[in-house]
């Protein structure tokens, strides 16, 4: 059975440091026999909010180039977490939170821009306004990989179950959720939501996260994991940077979907016209 790897990082404003950490875990995953490794959201840069636009890169920028080089060098597929991507000059507007998938020849096979942006006032915590500095994506994306058909999502997307059901209907057997979940919401929401997305769709969930203190006022929860299709957590990294590995069992996934064909029973269109009395 093919292996997958999930990396947990503590990224900072120092891109060179972040690059070294990513390279280390990609090499470790390849050495362990993983066919695909998933990096977390904002793996290349986490810094002050006002510096985000300046940290954004074009599609041929150094962070994307490194992902291509690492995939080719180590002969491994890489889910490249996210990198802030701009389409033109720094002055042309908000970048996207851009997730890429690279094959083992270093070719970008898929790209997804985070659709749901985190605008929230956390009780007892910070106020986030992601939409002030990031523009949302508009298109769900799935991609065929050596470990199955992978559906792409990012962090706050996790709270919108329709996205995952749509990707499952389109053929996804795994979901990637690169994230930087907050320390406030993580203990109560992170694992239950990941397990729910796996159970609802009978799919594997790869959830690479950020952990620890990145810069003043910014901390992430960690607890990166892999969830199997019936909802059990089969691999986990807890409170520090690290790597976890798990096997993907396509035969078991297909058997579960045959035994409990929830996608065939889905009547989403019937639920759109809600009657209020």
State yes or no: is 275 an active-site residue: no
- The answer to whether 41 is a known catalytic residue is yes
Say if residue 91's pLDDT is above 60. Answer: no
Residue tagged active-site, from 10, 52, 114, 130 = 114
User: Which regions of 107-217 does DSSP assign to beta strands (E)?
Assistant: 108-113, 119-121, 127-129, 142-145, 148-152, 174-176, 204-207, 211-215
Number of folded domains in the chain? 1
- What is the CATH number for 230? 3.60.110.10
Of the CA atoms within 13 Å of residue 169, those in its CB half-sphere come to 13
Catalytic residue among 41, 57, 130, 228: 41
User: pTM score, two decimals?
Assistant: 0.94
268 within some domain = no
**Does residue 272 belong to any structural domain of this protein?**
no
* Catalytic annotation present for 216: no
Q: What residues make up the domain containing 98?
A: 3-263
- For the stretch 155-204, pLDDT in tens is 999 999 999 999 999 999 999 999 999 998 999 999 999 999 999 999 99
33: confidence class by pLDDT, cuts 50, 70, 90: very high
Asked if 25 and 244 count as a contact pair (C-beta separation under 8 A), the reply is: no
For residue 191, being part of any structural domain is answered with yes
């Amino acid at each position: 059975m093919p292996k997958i790897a999930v990396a947990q990082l503590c990224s900072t404003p120092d891109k060179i440091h972040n690059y070294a950490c990513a390279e280390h875990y990609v090499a470790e995953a390849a050495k362990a026999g993983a066919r695909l490794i998933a990096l977390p959201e904002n793996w290349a840069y986490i810094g002050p909010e006002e510096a985000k636009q300046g940290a954004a890169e074009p599609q041929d920028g150094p962070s994307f180039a490194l992902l291509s080089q690492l995939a080719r060098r180590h002969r491994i597929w890489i889910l490249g977490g996210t990198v802030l991507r701009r389409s033109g000059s720094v002055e042309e507007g908000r970048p996207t939170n851009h997730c890429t998938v690279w094959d083992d020849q270093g070719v970008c096979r898929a790209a997804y821009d985070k659709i749901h942006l985190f605008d929230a006032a956390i009780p007892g915590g910070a106020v986030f306004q992601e939409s002030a500095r990031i523009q949302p994506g508009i298109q769900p994306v799935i991609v065929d990989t050596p470990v199955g058909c992978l559906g792409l999502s990012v962090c706050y997307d996790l709270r919108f179950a329709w996205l995952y059901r749509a990707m499952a209907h389109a053929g996804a057997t795994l979901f990637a959720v690169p994230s930087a979940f907050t320390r406030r919401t993580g203990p109560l929401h992170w694992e239950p939501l990941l397990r729910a997305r796996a159970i609802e769709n009978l799919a594997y969930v790869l959830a690479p996260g950020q952990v620890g203190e990145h810069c003043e006022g910014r901390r992430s929860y960690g607890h990166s994991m892999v969830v199997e299709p019936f909802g059990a957590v089969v691999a986990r990294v807890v409170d520090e940077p690290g790597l976890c590995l798990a096997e993907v069992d396509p035969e078991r996934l297909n058997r579960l979907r045959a035994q409990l064909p929830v996608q065939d029973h889905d009547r989403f269109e019937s639920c759109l016209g809600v009657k209020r009395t």
